[in-house]
Every structure is written in C-alpha cells, then in structure tokens.
C-alpha cells in the first residue's frame, strides 16, 4: 500500500470511524485519540491487511481500542468524585522526612536494613544478600513485607500532606 492509497482510506473512512467512536464514548478528545491510534495501527500493518477488508479492519481496531479506553477509565474513576477534605489535614506542619523516619523506625531490624539498602542506597538484591548474609529470596521477602508495612503505616501520601 502506498502513501497515496493510505491517505485515500483515511479520507474515505475517517469521518464514519470518528462518528462511530464518538457515539459510543461521547468524548470528543478521546474519540479523536482513538481514531488516530486506529490509523497508526493500520499504518503499521498496512501491508498485511487485505484491500477488501480495510474498512472492517479499521472499525474492528477502533472498537477494540474503544473498549480498552472505557475499561481503563472505569478503573481510574472520576476526578469529580474526589472529596478534598479526605486528602488534607488541618495542621500546616508536615515534615515528610520526620514522618518517614518514624515509619521506618517501626520496622523490624532485618526489614529496616534491607529497605534502607535497597531504597535509600540503591543496592541490587544480590548485593544486599551479600551484605546481609541472607539469601536473595529472603531479601526480596523482607523488602516486600517492609514496603507493605510502610504503605499501611503511612496510608496515602495525600493524607499526610
């Protein structure tokens, strides 16, 4: 397929494709993005698509992209539903460094050591295992458990700020 033939398919089907997506998603910007992504994918596979099935390919690709966008948006939720008072505090003082040190101080010594070596010093798992004398799998377990504890202890960062 030449560039001229590709441009002809864009001229032929882009309006219909855009209307199809827009009717389903009801968001102009997202519809434009989906149509653009569809044509990008078509360009990448232009030589593999049968000329008689170009329209079908475009609509199928757009439909699958539409489903992906809808599913992604459903997982993300709506920003309008967020209540600001749930993510703010009354006090103006918030020293994150101090809060983080308190949280790390709550960890057992082994977990604290591997968390500090990994996240503060940037050592790899095998290097941490060599330094601490633990197995690499035990290092990974301690890091996982330590991070999980810190996540539960600190809650969300928005709640701290």
For residues 130-139, give the mean pLDDT.
88
- Whether residues 116 and 64 share a domain: the answer is no
The whole-model pTM stands at 0.47
Give the domain-ending residue among 80, 109, 128: 80
The total of structural domains in the chain comes to 2
Residue 119's pLDDT is what? 83
Task: Quickly state the pLDDT bin for 137 (edges 50, 70, 90).
Answer: very high
In order, the DSSP letters of 29-65 are: HHHHHHHHHHHHHHHHTTTTS-GGGHHHHHHHHHHHH
pLDDT in tens, 84-95: 665 555 555 557
- Whether residues 138 and 90 share a domain: the answer is yes
Cβ density class 85-121: b for 16+ within 10 Å, e for less: eeeeeeeeeeeeeeeeeebbeebeebbebbbebbeee
- Domain enclosing residue 32, as ranges: 3-80
- Whether residues 68 and 119 share a domain: the answer is no
For residues 71-97, give the mean pLDDT.
65
Round the average pLDDT of the chain to a whole number and report it.
Answer: 80
Residue 136's pLDDT is what? 92
SS3 79: helix
């Amino acid at each position: 397929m030449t560039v001229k033939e590709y441009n002809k398919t864009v001229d032929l089907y882009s309006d219909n494709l855009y209307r199809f997506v827009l009717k389903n998603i009801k968001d102009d910007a997202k519809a434009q993005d989906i149509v653009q992504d569809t044509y990008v994918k078509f360009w990448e596979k232009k030589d593999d698509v049968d000329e008689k099935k170009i329209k079908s390919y475009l609509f199928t690709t757009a439909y699958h992209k539409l489903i992906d966008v809808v599913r992604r948006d459903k997982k993300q939720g709506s920003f309008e539903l967020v209540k600001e008072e749930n993510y703010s505090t009354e006090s103006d003082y918030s020293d994150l460094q101090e809060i983080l040190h308190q949280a790390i101080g709550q960890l057992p010594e082994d977990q604290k050591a591997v968390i500090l070596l990994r996240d503060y010093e940037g050592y790899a798992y095998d290097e941490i295992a060599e330094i601490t004398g633990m197995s690499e799998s035990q290092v990974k377990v301690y890091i996982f458990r330590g991070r999980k504890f810190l996540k539960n202890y600190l809650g969300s960062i928005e709640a701290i700020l």
